[in-house]
């Protein structure tokens, strides 16, 4: 499915100056905001290509109301999925970590719609047509008014964040936030809310493939 050593990739979270720590803080701030905005209602979360789940699980770790959250995390790497599962055990939230292919629509059957969809660490690893395909399909993962949190680096000519933001608009989303530090760091975090119609999950689809 992917040949990159994603366990090693996660080590950069602890490395000074990698930018990943700041990106994580920005993602978690958006998760916390969504939790606050929806309190005390239940919150359903889906995270595609969740890695070790540190964004959601870390945000929930500090919350007294984590028990109103149910989440479905999809990750293909066994070690990372196992780590996410262990971290989830410490939380009162109902977290399911599914080891599988997040690109296949069938994997989400029974676990959507969600009120918060995390698409973090995906758009920098797939082609532009695949990014567009994922965004077009995003309403299938979303409940009415759901928010999608996504990330993408902004490296020079390969900065497609403007297009990504317009593709979200085309797919029925309004922009809630776009965080792009004015520094040497090239990460960005976007948040889009579904204002258009929700869509039924279309089974049998494959939305993306990682380059490497």
Ligand X SMILES: C[S@@+](CC[C@H](N)C(=O)[O-])C[C@H]1O[C@@H](n2cnc3c(N)ncnc32)[C@H](O)[C@@H]1O
Chain residues binding ligand X by CB under 6 A are 1-2, 6, 9, 49-51, 55, 74-77, 80, 101-103, 120-121, 210
CB nearer to ligand X: pick between 195 and 205: 205
Provide, rounded to whole angstroms, the least separation between the CB of residue 196 and ligand X.
Answer: 25
Q: Which residue is nearest to ligand X (CB)?
A: 121
Provide, rounded to whole angstroms, the least separation between the CB of residue 40 and ligand X.
Answer: 27
CB nearer to ligand X: pick between 18 and 163: 18
Provide, rounded to whole angstroms, the least separation between the CB of residue 79 and ligand X.
Answer: 9
| Three-state SS sequence of the chain | CCCCCHHHHHHHHHCCCCCHHHHHHHHHHHHHHHHHHHCCCCEEEEEECCCCCHHHHHHHHCCCCHHHEEEEEEECCHHHHHHHHHHHHCCCCEEEEEECCCCEHHHHCCCCCEEEEEECCCCCCCCHHHHHHHHHHHHHCEEEEEEEEEECCCCHHHCCHHHHHHHHHHCCEEEEEEECCCCCCCCCEEEEEECCCCCCCCCCCECCCCCC
Provide, rounded to whole angstroms, the least separation between the CB of residue 155 and ligand X.
Answer: 15
CB nearer to ligand X: pick between 51 and 113: 51
CB nearer to ligand X: pick between 108 and 168: 108
CB nearer to ligand X: pick between 91 and 169: 91
Provide, rounded to whole angstroms, the least separation between the CB of residue 197 and ligand X.
Answer: 27
């Amino acid at each position: 499915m992917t040949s990159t050593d994603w366990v090693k990739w996660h080590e950069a979270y602890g490395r000074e100056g990698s930018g990943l720590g700041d990106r994580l803080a920005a993602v978690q701030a958006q998760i916390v905001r969504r939790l606050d905005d929806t309190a005390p209602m239940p919150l359903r979360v889906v995270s595609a290509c969740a890695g070790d789940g540190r964004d959601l699980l870390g945000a929930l770790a500090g919350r007294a109301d984590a028990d109103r959250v149910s989440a479905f995390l999809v990750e293909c790497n066994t070690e990372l999925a196992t780590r996410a599962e262990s971290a989830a055990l410490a939380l009162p939230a109902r977290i399911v970590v599914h080891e599988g292919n997040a690109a296949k629509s069938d994997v989400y059957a029974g676990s959507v719609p969600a009120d918060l969809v995390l698409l973090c660490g995906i758009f920098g690893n797939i082609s532009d047509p695949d990014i567009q395909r994922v965004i077009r399909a995003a309403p299938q993962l979303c409940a009415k008014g759901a928010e999608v949190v996504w990330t993408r680096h902004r490296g020079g000519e390969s900065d497609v964040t403007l297009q990504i933001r317009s593709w979200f608009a085309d797919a029925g989303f309004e922009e809630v936030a776009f965080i792009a530090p004015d520094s040497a760091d090239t990460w960005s975090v976007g948040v889009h809310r579904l204002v258009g119609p929700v869509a039924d999950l279309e089974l049998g689809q494959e939305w993306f493939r990682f380059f490497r």
